[in-house]
Chains A and B, each alone.
Chain A
């Protein structure tokens, strides 16, 4: 039985993103579309998001003009495609503290937020270093931490220390320390509820940007090729990828990179009238398809 309905919801995109950033190594190999997306998980009385997206009011113009980010739509519009409003969201699992993953905490007034303790601890530590170390804190917005303080004051910010099973029913989180960020985490949904699940989905955050990170570009000689951006190490990214792959028995499509444009051809999908993709990963009993 399928416990949760799961959708990957695009909310903006960079139409021409250099492939060299998506994979460490291959330079001058053109561009791909890079969708910005979050994951909606609905079932068992919960409405869960993986990551929040960013706050367009704060960065929209800057991102559009400097980086070619286009077609942003806020969570009210995006979630409506699945019959959900931001106020319905009960929990948000934050994969890491970059602006485009935790930059919209304030838009989910009833949600509890889960983040790795080391993601916050080490970021605070890195900020005590002098400015020449600012690479280590790039992509973070002071306003996001201030909003996290407000959520914590209301008892809605929960720090997780390492791997934890059943953070929510049938949903486990795993620390991938010193990888893309200090305390990145990936999420496993055991969608049959079984401990030894035969219906696992893994949501990789930014540990991978594309399926190619898991397979390499040569089908004859598969290899794990890490993304091109880490404050930790490529070594740790490779072994985190290996753990994710082993967890789903090597079935690549079950490790979901939200920035992968090919999700729309790997799973049932629909282009909304706003030009955004809705990708349907799983459908719980009684839930109607949002892509049919």
Chain B
């Protein structure tokens, strides 16, 4: 068995995980922000105006996420993961554009585009969480019913 080759492949995956995780976090945070904006928009336009500044920031973050995903060095074994990460970023950018358009023009077409692109980004993102460990989307450690984490604490120590 070529231990060195295995080790090189593992190192490449580890480097990918280390580089991709912050990008996935950026996509996740930005997606939640844009979805939150969309929710305000659909339930009360006056409240949504308060979030327009945040939406501009989200659009910049989505563009940055797209660039960072494209710049990742992707080993073969992580290609599928990268495909979904790229999908999440690109759909998020489309969602930002749809949200900005929605703010300017009324219409159910914009509602559809916004919710469709948000859904696409969310689905891609969820797939990235399933394909490789370390990409979980919910911080259960801060959640009400799971605010105990013996295994995680143990991992932190070792």
Contacts and interface: CB of A to CB of B under 8 A. Distances in A.
Contacts of B37: 124
A271 interface: no
Nearest to A152: B42
Given A139-B140, A142-B125, A143-B126, 4 more contacts: A121-B40, A127-B32, A142-B35, A159-B43
Interface of B: 25, 28-29, 31-33, 35-40, 42-44, 47, 50-51, 54, 57, 111-112, 114-115, 118-119, 121-122, 125-126, 136-149, 151-152
Q: Is the interface of A mostly helix, strand, loop or mixed?
A: helix
26 contacts: A14-B145, A17-B148, A59-B140, A67-B149, A117-B44, A123-B36, A127-B32, A127-B36, A128-B54, A128-B57, A138-B141, A139-B144, A142-B28, A142-B125, A143-B122, A143-B137, A145-B35, A146-B119, A149-B39, A149-B42, A150-B119, A152-B38, A152-B39, A206-B145, A227-B144, A229-B147
Contact of B143 (A98, A127, A131): A98
A139 to B, nearest CB: 3
Contact of A63 (B122, B140, B152): B140
Contacts of A148: 35, 39
A171 interface: no
B137 A138 contact: no
Interface string A54-92: 000011001101110100000000000000000000000
Contact of B32 (A121, A137, A227): A137
A205 to B, nearest CB: 9
B119 to A, nearest CB: 6
7 nearest A-B residue pairs (beta carbon): A138-B142, A139-B143, A124-B36, A152-B42, A145-B35, A142-B32, A138-B139
Interface string A17-35: 1100100000000000010
Interface of A: 14, 17-18, 21, 34, 36, 58-59, 62-63, 65-67, 69, 98-101, 117, 120-121, 123-125, 127-128, 131, 134-135, 137-143, 145-146, 148-150, 152-153, 157-159, 180, 206, 227-229, 259
Contacts of B122: 142-143, 146
A157 B39 contact: yes
A62 B39 contact: no
Contacts of A98: 143-145
Give the one of A65, A67, A121 with max B CB within 10 A.
A67
Contacts of B47: 117, 121
Nearest to B111: A153
A34 B144 CA distance: 11
Given A120-B40, A134-B139, A153-B115, A145 B32 contact: yes
Contact of A128 (B33, B35, B40, B148): B33
Nearest to A227: B144
B42 to A, nearest CB: 4
A124 B138 contact: no
Contact of A149 (B35, B147, B151): B35
B151 A66 contact: yes
A124 B41 CA distance: 12
Contacts of B38: 149, 152
A135 B142 contact: yes
A124 B32 CA distance: 8
Contact of A18 (B40, B125, B148, B152): B148
Contact of B43 (A134, A157, A228): A157
